[in-house]
Amino acid sequence: MADTLPSEFDVIVIGTGLPESIIAAACSRSGRRVLHVDSRSYYGGNWASFSFSGLLSWLKEYQENSDIVSDSPVWQDQILENEEAIALSRKDKTIQHVEVFCYASQDLHEDVEEAGALQKNHALVTSANSTEAADSAFLPTEDESLSTMSCEMLTEQTPSSDPENALEVNGAEVTGEKENHCDDKTCVPSTSAEDMSENVPIAEDTTEQPKKNRITYSQIIKEGRRFNIDLVSKLLYSRGLLIDLLIKSNVSRYAEFKNITRILAFREGRVEQVPCSRADVFNSKQLTMVEKRMLMKFLTFCMEYEKYPDEYKGYEEITFYEYLKTQKLTPNLQYIVMHSIAMTSETASSTIDGLKATKNFLHCLGRYGNTPFLFPLYGQGELPQCFCRMCAVFGGIYCLRHSVQCLVVDKESRKCKAIIDQFGQRIISEHFLVEDSYFSENMCSRVQYRQISRAVLITDRSVLKTDSDQQISILTVPAEEPGTFAVRVIELCSSTMTCMKGTYLVHLTCTSSKTAREDLESVVQKLFIPYTEMEIENEQVEKPRILWALYFNMRDSSDISRSCYNDLPSNVYVCSGPDCGLGNDNAVKQAETLFQEICPNEDFCPPPPNPEDIILDGDSLQPEASESSAILEANSETFKESTNLGNLEESSE
């Protein structure tokens, strides 16, 4: 591949996370020559989404703590006397404390595999300790805890998509539940497509059908391609920066979205739905008539709080939680506003922060539905790939599994001149964008990272059962002890194309104070119970049952000043990984700021031209012009189509 790469670019981007992908698309759209590389075998970095088998392969990679790339030619010989090299890290250390638990029936046989999956590569990857598992009240009994054999089965699968289809996106209209759309998942495997297996999965669980609602681990494995599991759990505010950018750049044509259907609250051990719109408030049976009037009056004030500074000026130095106590709101309303509308911290959010968050929530209501949030079909990992596709359409070059050995820096100017890749090729560029995880420990010795605690659960029912089984919900569970943080819970149903029918995919997220399991296990115990044979027969069980669980900590490299990095050349820009926030505004702001440094005074991701308006030079080259026009049409066949978000916006307005 190195022989075919050009030796010079305007911009080289290392890492395919959301900020890097947005910048690559913006630079390519502005006419810059862009090379976008990633040492991983999939797009998105820590923003990626995986099928179930793909996630297990990702776990294996971190459990083994192995190098991402193989041995490469010595690059030190290419460094000249007036140059020095900044070596990049060959290990990704952004994920820690990985623990996996399987509660579904362990009825696996060696020949059970995901439909369409790659050949198995028997390897042990689970980090769950069987002794600790037996000692924990949350974990299953001894005979149901994760055994060595089930650990092997947990990680025998590899990502199942073809690398050639890595940038393909769903072009057809998606209805509520699409049976055969799992093949559209855009995750690149870590092994070659030549290893594809033709084996047909064996439906050995047919004899167990008489047992009611019984979901086995083999079913999860075989239906693994129906799962699209996000490493980072986020939603899109309907009037947020990312939605505006998707519409402005017309990148929204590469993705489809579903509206979050309900916002939940957890009070006194019960989950209940929170009214959002004016109609919901007045139809709510949870609020008294007096409370409804109080709430509407306060929310009306929040929508235009800047016009009434006297109402909050005296409270700017206190927290929003204390400010709510001074208003004419009952404890019930204070709880709803604090944790389900503003969704801010009781101890860390000021009055102004809370008012801004409340206004933003209300401002986003009604644009696309009854809640302020959207979720991309097939998972958050689709978004980086959408921008990568835009970059590729305008000439960007992409290389996965392509690591960079070092940055070459001129000693006199202290500017980066080139990179040297894994094949020893020297590639020159003017600007370099590097995702934080690629820097070595020496470069980051003064950086103080925060951590994000994450849990991913596969469950058999919703946390709040209703007539419809296709609910998409968000729930905030407040912190119980000082020094801990509120936990955000996002529950996805099968119509989001992120899990198989009959299951729910639940994401839990909070700022870390300990390991992910220590931070999140208490919330998991409140909302769920482990899946056991005894409870299957008990129809009175109200809590959802956990079939499978994953805990891990992820590095939060957001909001770190570039001055914290040692000897960073002026033309090398740092892109951070995901932050702990619910939205994606931080990634968009970061991308736009860096783009303006590279391309000052240029429009950030303008809409693409209409193919009909493109005039090709030279009347004498009519055949070539026609052929080029046809290629443009093929590469951007959806330019003439209106975007889903655009249609929704027009209809809502």
Model pLDDT for residues 383-414, shown as the tens digit of each residue: 999 999 999 999 999 999 999 999 999 999 99
CB 236 within 8 A of CB 584: yes
Lowest mean pLDDT among 43-57, 63-77, 184-198: 184-198
Closest CA to 163 of 65, 250, 54: 54
Question: Are 575 and 23 in contact, with CB atoms under 8 Å apart?
Answer: yes
State yes or no: pLDDT of 58 exceeds 60: yes
pLDDT number for residue 116: 52
Query: What's the chain's average pLDDT?
Result: 79
Tens-digit pLDDT profile for residues 519-557 = 999 999 999 998 875 555 555 567 899 999 999 999 999
pLDDT by residue (tens digit) across 153-210?
333 333 333 333 332 333 333 333 333 333 333 333 333 333 333 333 433 444 444 4
Above 50 in pLDDT, residue 25? yes
> 287, 267 in Cβ contact below 8 A?
no
Find, among 132, 68, 121, the residue nearest to 97 by Cα: 132
Which is higher by pLDDT, 347 or 230? Answer: 230
End-to-end, the C-alpha distance of the chain in Å comes to 49
In this prediction, residues 228-251 reach a mean pLDDT of 96
Among 266, 277, 238, 235, residue whose Cα is nearest residue 338: 266
**Which amino acid appears at position 287 of this protein?**
L
Query: What are the backbone dihedrals phi and psi of residue 166, each rounded to the nearest 5 degrees, phi first?
Result: -60, -30
- R_g (Cα) of the chain, nearest Å: 26
Range with the lowest mean pLDDT among 162-176, 233-247, 485-499? Answer: 162-176
CA dist., res. 644 & res. 300, Å (int): 31
pLDDT of residue 536: 52
How sure is the predictor about 275, in pLDDT bands with cuts at 50, 70 and 90? confident
pLDDT at 481: 82
Neighbours of 330 (CB within 10 A): 14
Of 204, 32, 184, which Cα lies nearest the Cα of 598? 32
> Can you identify the CATH homologous superfamily of domain 276-363?
Guanine Nucleotide Dissociation Inhibitor, domain 1 (1.10.405.10)
pLDDT at 569 over 90: yes
When mean pLDDT is compared across 62-66, 84-88, 344-348, 456-460, the lowest value belongs to: 62-66
Beta-strand runs (E) in 370-442 = 373-376, 397-400, 404-410, 416-421, 426-435
Give me the mean pLDDT over the 313-333 stretch. 89
Give 593 or 123, the one with higher predicted confidence.
593
Picking from 324-328, 343-347, 417-421, 470-474, which range would have the lowest pLDDT averaged per residue? Answer: 343-347
Residue 129 has pLDDT above 80, yes or no: no
> Which pLDDT score, from 0 to 100, does residue 287 have?
86
Residue 630, pLDDT > 70, answer: no
- Domain spans in the chain, listed from the N-terminal domain onward: 6-92+376-446+556-596, 276-363
Position 566 pLDDT exceeds 80: yes
How far is residue 387's CA from residue 252's CA, in Å, rounded to a whole number? 9
Given this model, what pLDDT does residue 151 score? Answer: 37
User: Does residue 144 carry a pLDDT above 60?
Assistant: no
Q: Using the predicted structure, report yes or no on whether residue 445 has a pLDDT greater than 80.
A: yes
HEC string of 71-134?
CCCCCHHHCCCCEEEEEECCCCCCEEEEEEEECCECCCCCCCCCCCCECCCCCCCCCCCHHHHH
Residue in the block written with tokens 């393909």: 168
pTM of the model as a whole = 0.80
Give the DSSP H or E segment for 644.
helix 644-652
Residue 552 confidence (pLDDT): 96
Q: Greater confidence, 125 or 447?
A: 447
Tokens of 400: 């996965």
pLDDT tens for each residue of 504-522? 999 999 999 999 999 999 9
DSSP 177-242: --TT-GGG-----SS-GGGB--PPPP-GGGGGTTSTT--BHHHHHHTGGG--EESS---EETTSHH
Q: Per-residue confidence at 644, pLDDT binned at 50, 70, 90? A: low
Residues in the chain, overall count: 653
What's the pLDDT band for 73 if we cut at 50, 70, 90? low
State the pLDDT confidence band at 608, using cuts at 50, 70 and 90: confident
Of 17, 96, 48, nearest to 436 by C-alpha is 17
Tens of pLDDT along 83-122? 899 999 888 889 999 999 999 887 655 555 666 554 433 3
Give Cα separations from 191 to 41, 194, 401, 561 (angstroms).
9, 8, 11, 37
Percentage of residues of the chain with pLDDT beyond 70: 74
The answer to whether 166 and 43 have CB atoms below 8 angstroms apart is yes
Average pLDDT, integer, range 613-622: 53
* Average pLDDT score over residue span 326-355: 89
Rounded Cα gap, residues 255 and 648, in angstroms: 13
State the Cα–Cα distance between residues 543 and 440, nearest whole angstrom: 45
Give the 3-state secondary structure of 434-494. EEHHHECCCCCCCCCCEEEEEEEEEECCCCCCCCCCCCCEEEEECCCCCCCCCEEEEEECH
Specify the DSSP element, H or E, that contains 50.
strand 49-50
Whose structure tokens read 């119970």? 529
Model confidence at 622, pLDDT cuts 50, 70, 90, reads very low
CATH fold group of domain 6-92+376-446+556-596: FAD/NAD(P)-binding domain (3.50.50)
Cβ atoms of 221 and 108 within 8 Å: the answer is yes
Distance from C-alpha of 52 to C-alpha of 49, rounded to nearest angstrom? 10
Tokens 């929508």 correspond to what residue?
303
- Asked whether residue 221 carries a pLDDT value surpassing 60, the answer given is yes
- Which pLDDT value is given to residue 111? 54
Query: Taking residues 559-580, what's their average pLDDT?
Result: 93
Residue 115: per-residue pLDDT: 61
